[in-house]
A and B are shown apart, each in its own frame.
Chain A
């Protein structure tokens, strides 16, 4: 569920966001309602086990708006009783009224975008909150009964140092979180910061430096009792984000809102990126998807390998439909064996995984395998 509004645009951001105004929100609501009507029949008889409010900034919606959104969704889709319901929240906006509204509706997991605890870094990333805010937000969320809390961090941006990262990691460690997502900075040409980084030519931050920061991150997470379950995601035992795993395990998911992407019963589609385009398509009575493709068997198995090998538990037969796994084996069986020979994969019960020391090189092995896939 993509909520495209933000109070201020962060310097590194390339997500689909829109200016926040009463009219814009109304138009978006109307669009969501149309799109939900359009998609609901696809999910007839399905009880969703995960629902994710992402953005943009879902927490930019007022409690009244959030309730309205919630009711709109519940009227059209079914949630499983133990469903994971996550909301991406800006630490700045975690206020009592909102937290109460989320809690009451059924949100049971919050993901705070902290990025860093260094004041100067927050400013240069264009974040509006100060470094104390995430700490207060976490405490407040706990007070409202939220147990499942995750924090987003970023590392490896221009000027990022190991000492600064250590301070951020230490602050994060004090929060007793069950989950952390930490993303290595990628310069995006369309963002002010990315443009600066790209204009300076060459990789703004050397691979060595980013790899060292990743090592530092992994160690700090272990110290906090959080294990890496996917390249950029760390958690306590059994506290994986179900929503995240849906992507990595290539399970079905539906999508609502501008720029949202779905993978549903052998088909992938992505909605128009700009909120206005997306809304306009729906207003014309059209499907808001701008890209749509059926996945042939070969690309399904390519995707399974590409996504699944990022998981620390590895790529395992048990996680897939038998027919999908059979085609993975057919296409990749020989390549897997060769990769093991070359030290690129290690076997796990019922599957394969990339050795821990190569986690930050995962794409190299994935491409190596793809180049050797059959037919």
Chain B
């Protein structure tokens, strides 16, 4: 039973498949509650990162507090969290859920249930959140609200007549949806008079405040000046500020049980403010850890190296900073023969990798080379020792390997039936095992496939989108390891092995993979002053080769009457090009070439 003092609080998040309109709905909610002034308002206002705005997708969850005077005359405190929809960022969703009692499950009324609709629904249901169903985009001519409402009833167990019908674009149905949230989502439980306990569900770095912990207070109250302890590390800090999450941080006198807000406590190191940790009042002993959330599992690992070796320390600092805003980012130092000092970084998927690389470039001005991404293989050596290998270079020589296991996923793909053939073919090519299929409606199916993670983590999503004209959606979960005949494939440039380009591939695909990688590298590596041989090899035996012819011309003929501006411009451009190349032995290799593996056609 909820404490009467908490009965006017509702904590809820918005979850959905990518692009179904979560952030747009959040805009309307902020509008109808007058949380933002018209001047502050813009489309998907919570997507405040440059990259989010450019890509038009949400990358980070965003929490914001609102007030709403409901029909019953009571003013409610509403804490809303908008979440990302892309499969790489499921971890963001699960953390947001931990701070809430309810979730609005948004479904695009023209698209219907998609892979992430289901996976996010399951996450919310697992955490026993109240689900409020909302059919969005009913303004679209292609909307089929009655049919899709039935899908929601069937899959998310919300009675069809109880599913809200809204247009996040026009605002239609949004006030009614809020009323429904207040009616259906229970107020938080928790005791404001009990000893203080809070869950850190996110953290960020603020230029002036340092580390800011975003918390859901479970019990008790907290004010500035009080002392808190982080349970997992035992670190103690004095609170310097607490407050509510508005568009900006909004200081308040106190936070109490049931509320969502932030705490600043002079925390210097990231390690002290681990997302998922529990904060308690320092003077109370024997407090129990709150159930956090699953540790994130990095799906794919890649080495990140600064092109300019002198930026290693900057990179280290930048990764620590990013880790503050992105608890899923894992990294440790490593070295490469070709690239020098860098970090092995774990990512949730390829989009995650791309975004981190882009943020490092833009926010920290560090140009990077990312090595061929790899999943984690389990290796049993002949001497009985067991190894986890996330870097192809660390794979022991074949004669020392007893067996290798690769990670497997259970993938769910939702697609219109017309693309079924293409998709089955794609899964088959990726060594998939068909596990089942069900019809969501007459023209749409949900297929289950067991697939090696290594086959899907790189380009599968793009391929899936391209063979289904963008209509198919994907979700996957790791389901364990399976023995596999994989081998290490090396790339040699003019006879010199480039460790950063090595990859672990299935034996049956080594040849095609090796030759298309050589072809791709030939395209991506510009001509040098001499001919360059690009070779793919397995255990020293060359299986494919391409030759990059020598550069023949690179000179501007003339200096027109002492006007050198043109030469200088050209030089400036060429110099920038050179700066983005890494000298590997005698060969200059551009940044893009290191991700050639992503562009290789594997079919």
Q: Which residues of A come within 8 Å of B, CB atoms? A: 2, 15, 54, 183-184, 186, 207-208, 210-211, 214, 231-232, 246-248, 253, 255, 259-263, 268, 270, 291, 302-303, 306-307, 310, 342-344, 358-364, 366-368, 370-371
> What per-residue 1/0 map shows which CB atoms of B560-598 lie under 8 Å from chain A?
111111011011001111110000001010000000000
- B564: chain A residues at CB < 8 Å are 247, 261, 268, 303, 306-307
Interface check B558, CB cutoff 8 A? yes
Q: In the complex where A263-B562, A367-B577 touch, is A361 in contact with B556 (Cβ < 8 A)?
A: no
- A210: chain B residues at CB < 8 Å are 552-553
- A364: contacting residue among B551, B557, B559, B560, CB under 8 A: B551
The distance from the CB of A1 to the nearest CB of chain B, in whole angstroms, is 10
- CB pair A186–B586 under 8 Å, yes or no, is no
- CB pair A363–B559 under 8 Å, yes or no, is no
Interface check B40, CB cutoff 8 A? no
Nearest residue, chain B, Cβ from A243: B562
- CB pair B553–A207 under 8 Å, yes or no, is yes
- CB pair B579–A371 under 8 Å, yes or no, is yes
- B551: chain A residues at CB < 8 Å are 207, 361, 364
- A54: chain B residues at CB < 8 Å are 561
- CB pair B562–A247 under 8 Å, yes or no, is yes
- B554: chain A residues at CB < 8 Å are 360-364
Interface check B74, CB cutoff 8 A? no
Separation of A344 and B576 alpha carbons in the complex (Å): 19
Q: Which residues of B come within 8 Å of A, CB atoms? A: 529, 551-565, 567-568, 570-571, 574-579, 586, 588
- B578: chain A residues at CB < 8 Å are 367-368, 370-371
- CB pair B552–A208 under 8 Å, yes or no, is yes
Separation of A247 and B568 alpha carbons in the complex (Å): 14
Separation of A370 and B576 alpha carbons in the complex (Å): 9
- B555: contacting residue among A262, A361, A370, CB under 8 A: A361
- CB pair B571–A360 under 8 Å, yes or no, is no
The distance from the CB of B589 to the nearest CB of chain A, in whole angstroms, is 14
- CB pair A261–B558 under 8 Å, yes or no, is no
The distance from the CB of A199 to the nearest CB of chain B, in whole angstroms, is 21
Separation of A259 and B576 alpha carbons in the complex (Å): 28
Q: In the complex where A366-B571, A367-B571, A371-B578 touch, is A260 in contact with B561 (Cβ < 8 A)?
A: yes
- B555: chain A residues at CB < 8 Å are 184, 231, 310, 359-363
The distance from the CB of A116 to the nearest CB of chain B, in whole angstroms, is 15
- CB pair B553–A270 under 8 Å, yes or no, is no
Separation of A308 and B58 alpha carbons in the complex (Å): 52
- CB pair B562–A253 under 8 Å, yes or no, is yes
Separation of A262 and B555 alpha carbons in the complex (Å): 23
The distance from the CB of B526 to the nearest CB of chain A, in whole angstroms, is 10
- B586: chain A residues at CB < 8 Å are 342
- CB pair A371–B553 under 8 Å, yes or no, is no
**Apart from A54-B561, A358-B529, 18 more pairs, CB < 8 Å:** A186-B556, A186-B558, A208-B552, A231-B557, A232-B558, A259-B561, A262-B562, A306-B571, A360-B552, A360-B554, A360-B555, A363-B555, A363-B574, A364-B529, A364-B551, A367-B578, A368-B588, A371-B579
Q: In the complex where A363-B571, A371-B578 touch, is A291 in contact with B565 (Cβ < 8 A)?
A: yes
The distance from the CB of B53 to the nearest CB of chain A, in whole angstroms, is 32
- B588: chain A residues at CB < 8 Å are 368
Nearest residue, chain A, Cβ from B553: A207
Separation of A302 and B564 alpha carbons in the complex (Å): 12
A sample of 26 cross-chain residue pairs with beta-carbon separation below 8 angstroms, ordered by A number, consists of: A2-B561, A15-B560, A183-B557, A184-B557, A210-B553, A231-B555, A231-B557, A247-B559, A261-B561, A261-B562, A261-B565, A263-B562, A303-B568, A306-B564, A306-B567, A306-B571, A310-B555, A343-B529, A360-B552, A360-B554, A361-B554, A364-B574, A366-B571, A368-B588, A370-B574, A371-B578
The distance from the CB of B213 to the nearest CB of chain A, in whole angstroms, is 41
- CB pair A248–B559 under 8 Å, yes or no, is yes
Nearest residue, chain A, Cβ from B566: A186
Nearest residue, chain B, Cβ from A1: B561
Q: In the complex where A360-B553, A360-B555 touch, is A367 in contact with B561 (Cβ < 8 A)?
A: no
- B560: chain A residues at CB < 8 Å are 15
- CB pair B565–A361 under 8 Å, yes or no, is no
- B575: chain A residues at CB < 8 Å are 367, 370-371
- CB pair B529–A361 under 8 Å, yes or no, is yes
Separation of A361 and B527 alpha carbons in the complex (Å): 11
- A344: chain B residues at CB < 8 Å are 529
Separation of A169 and B553 alpha carbons in the complex (Å): 21
Nearest residue, chain B, Cβ from A365: B529
- CB pair A361–B574 under 8 Å, yes or no, is no
Q: In the complex where A255-B562, A261-B562, A261-B563 touch, is A232 in contact with B574 (Cβ < 8 A)?
A: no
- B574: chain A residues at CB < 8 Å are 363-364, 366-367, 370
Separation of A360 and B550 alpha carbons in the complex (Å): 12
Separation of A207 and B527 alpha carbons in the complex (Å): 11
Separation of A218 and B374 alpha carbons in the complex (Å): 51
The distance from the CB of B137 to the nearest CB of chain A, in whole angstroms, is 42
Nearest residue, chain B, Cβ from A15: B560
Q: In the complex where A306-B568, A371-B578 touch, is A211 in contact with B556 (Cβ < 8 A)?
A: no
Nearest residue, chain A, Cβ from B573: A367
The distance from the CB of A294 to the nearest CB of chain B, in whole angstroms, is 14
- CB pair B570–A363 under 8 Å, yes or no, is yes
Separation of A307 and B564 alpha carbons in the complex (Å): 9
- CB pair A370–B571 under 8 Å, yes or no, is yes
The distance from the CB of B308 to the nearest CB of chain A, in whole angstroms, is 10
The distance from the CB of B550 to the nearest CB of chain A, in whole angstroms, is 9
- A232: chain B residues at CB < 8 Å are 557-558
The distance from the CB of A275 to the nearest CB of chain B, in whole angstroms, is 14
The distance from the CB of B530 to the nearest CB of chain A, in whole angstroms, is 8
- B558: chain A residues at CB < 8 Å are 183, 186, 232
Separation of A343 and B528 alpha carbons in the complex (Å): 12
The distance from the CB of B575 to the nearest CB of chain A, in whole angstroms, is 4
Nearest residue, chain A, Cβ from B578: A371
Separation of A313 and B247 alpha carbons in the complex (Å): 65
Separation of A262 and B561 alpha carbons in the complex (Å): 9
- B552: chain A residues at CB < 8 Å are 207-208, 210-211, 360-361
The distance from the CB of A164 to the nearest CB of chain B, in whole angstroms, is 19
Separation of A81 and B570 alpha carbons in the complex (Å): 38
Separation of A362 and B561 alpha carbons in the complex (Å): 20
Separation of A73 and B574 alpha carbons in the complex (Å): 40
- A302: chain B residues at CB < 8 Å are 568, 571
Separation of A307 and B559 alpha carbons in the complex (Å): 9
Separation of A253 and B559 alpha carbons in the complex (Å): 14
Separation of A260 and B562 alpha carbons in the complex (Å): 8
Residue of B551, B552, B577 with most partner-chain A CB within 10 A: B552
Separation of A342 and B563 alpha carbons in the complex (Å): 31
Nearest residue, chain B, Cβ from A154: B557
The distance from the CB of B404 to the nearest CB of chain A, in whole angstroms, is 40
The distance from the CB of A374 to the nearest CB of chain B, in whole angstroms, is 11
Separation of A260 and B561 alpha carbons in the complex (Å): 7
Report, nearest first, the 6 A-B pairs whose CB atoms are least far apart: A367-B574, A371-B578, A211-B552, A207-B553, A261-B563, A370-B575
- A370: chain B residues at CB < 8 Å are 571, 574-575, 578
Nearest residue, chain B, Cβ from A210: B553
- A246: chain B residues at CB < 8 Å are 562
- A371: chain B residues at CB < 8 Å are 575-576, 578-579
The distance from the CB of A40 to the nearest CB of chain B, in whole angstroms, is 19
Residue of A207, A291, A362 with most partner-chain B CB within 10 A: A207
Separation of A109 and B578 alpha carbons in the complex (Å): 41
Separation of A37 and B529 alpha carbons in the complex (Å): 50
Separation of A291 and B564 alpha carbons in the complex (Å): 12
- A208: chain B residues at CB < 8 Å are 552
The distance from the CB of B591 to the nearest CB of chain A, in whole angstroms, is 13
Nearest residue, chain A, Cβ from B551: A361
